[in-house]
Structure 1
Amino acid sequence: MNKIIKENYPVSKLPEDLREGVESSVVTVTIEEGNGLRGARPTIAEIFARRRPPFKSKEEIDAEWRRQRDESE
């Protein structure tokens, strides 16, 4: 895997989204090759693995939908 390191790189040369929150005028930039899968759509397993608790049961979700539907009527 290739890796490029640029020390004392001017922040003004960075893309705007990378400059956000940087208060220094120079930074160290490290660029590493990815595995080629970055940006690819996640699999269902990856999506479920990223979920954060609390997890709701089917019954809890159905009850929530019923409650919202009843409130809107």
Structure 2
Amino acid sequence: MNKIVRENYPVSKLPEDLREGLDPSGTVRIEVTDEERAPERPPERRPTLDEIWARRRPPFRTKEDIDAQIRADRDAWDD
């Protein structure tokens, strides 16, 4: 963490918004420190093509699955 300290700094050299309520002919002690930052997270790892292919459903269905789907569709049409 970086820190800057200035003793006896003239109020007249301060930015206008920081001079409010201070004697323009006086001096001040200024301390500037870095804000605490949250630790950086490591970048998320992207899945490889092999991992993507392994996660997807198989593109095939068994004969029984296909027959059951056709029967269900036919039954729905008959209703």
* TM-score, scaled to structure 2: 0.42
Larger Rg: 2
* TM-score, scaled to structure 1: 0.45
